Amino acid sequence: MNKFLDRFFHLSTLSIALLTLLVTGAIFGVLYQEAKPAMDAFGFDFLVNSKWAPNLEKFGAFPAIVGSIMSTALAMALAIPVAIGVAIFLSEIAPAKLKSPVGVSIELLAAIPSVIYGMWGLFYFVPIIRDLFGGLGIGLLTAGIVLAVMVLPFMAAVTRDAMNTTPDILKESAYALGGTKWDVIKDIVIPYAKAGIIGATILALGRAIGETMAVTFVMGNVHKIPSHITDPATSIPVALANEFAEADEGLYFSSLFYLAMVLFIISFAIIAFAKFAFLKRGRA
């Protein structure tokens, strides 16, 4: 009986794992099938062309690709240090009476729908950016800030949990040797939780690069490479959200699927690189 249950458990988990691969392959297959006309028409020039003119049936993905990468990089640059700081405060510095309410509040922030973040960014951050830098206030910087606020709670919560796994005996030994609070955090807690911090960053990166609704409100959807960080821009998710409903069944429709396939490949490549390069290094 036990052998049968073990065999059943093994086959069940194997089936679930294979199902995940099949779903991923099916998604890519649909994207490839629908993008095939645009791939035949434009080839790899689609990736380096900057002109997007549906009325002329000229499509180039380069501004959207640049916008996706720049907004994600800006969001991660803003979110990572703040998230680590919040996690350090909650795990090592905050008094016991603050840890629970502040921790629960951060976890609740992660559950807010992205469209709410987008509306908040439109009516809160856009006027601030407009007053500080001029222009419309809608652009790459505002999108990066909104994305950073969105991924911050998730990163902070996971990083805090990783830091809480540091054995007390290691910290107590460091204090016994004369280490300060900063020494213990810098030399004991962060190195011990390094793999968890990198894992949280990778998961947040995956959400940031594919985020749609929040960025749609504040980025501008201008198919042009921004010359300044506050200029309106676009990203692949923003272009898909704004233009998919109005695309017909022709080359315009296929080009949007081509964009989606590019986003799929970029996301997969970036997360895979981060996982196998940085996470492996973090565990060393």
Could you tell me the pLDDT band of residue 197, with boundaries at 50, 70 and 90? confident
Evaluate whether 102 touches 90 at the Cβ level (below 8 Å): yes
State how far the alpha carbon of 90 is from the alpha carbons of 77, 100, 154, 176, in Å.
21, 9, 14, 23
**Residue 232, both tokens:** 């309106």
- Find where tokens 């959400």 sit: 207
Residue 284 scores a pLDDT above 80? no
**Residue 75, both tokens:** 């969001």
Bridge partners (DSSP) of residue 129 are none
The average pLDDT across 147-151 equals: 91
pLDDT at residue 251 in the model: 86
* Number of residues in the chain: 284
Residue 20 scores a pLDDT above 60? yes
Our count of domains for the chain comes to 1
pLDDT at residue 283 in the model: 52
**Residue 83, both tokens:** 């998230």
Bridge partners (DSSP) of residue 220 are 233
pLDDT at residue 277 in the model: 66
- The CATH number given to whatever domain includes residue 127 is 1.10.3720.10
pLDDT at residue 1 in the model: 65
Identify the weakest region by mean pLDDT among 38-47, 104-113, 139-148, 224-233.
104-113
Residue 213 scores a pLDDT above 90? no
Per-residue pLDDT tens over the stretch 227-282: 888 889 888 888 888 888 787 778 888 999 999 999 999 888 887 877 776 656 55
Residue 154 scores a pLDDT above 60? yes
pLDDT at residue 7 in the model: 81
Identify the weakest region by mean pLDDT among 29-33, 199-203, 215-219.
199-203
Return the higher-pLDDT residue of 277 and 132: 132
Residue 49 scores a pLDDT above 60? yes
pLDDT at residue 55 in the model: 82
pLDDT at residue 205 in the model: 84
The average pLDDT across 8-34 equals: 89
Identify the weakest region by mean pLDDT among 29-33, 149-153, 280-284.
280-284
pTM: 0.84
Average per-residue pLDDT for the chain: 86
The average pLDDT across 96-111 equals: 82
Tally of CB atoms within 10 A around 224: 16
Range of the domain at 110: 2-283
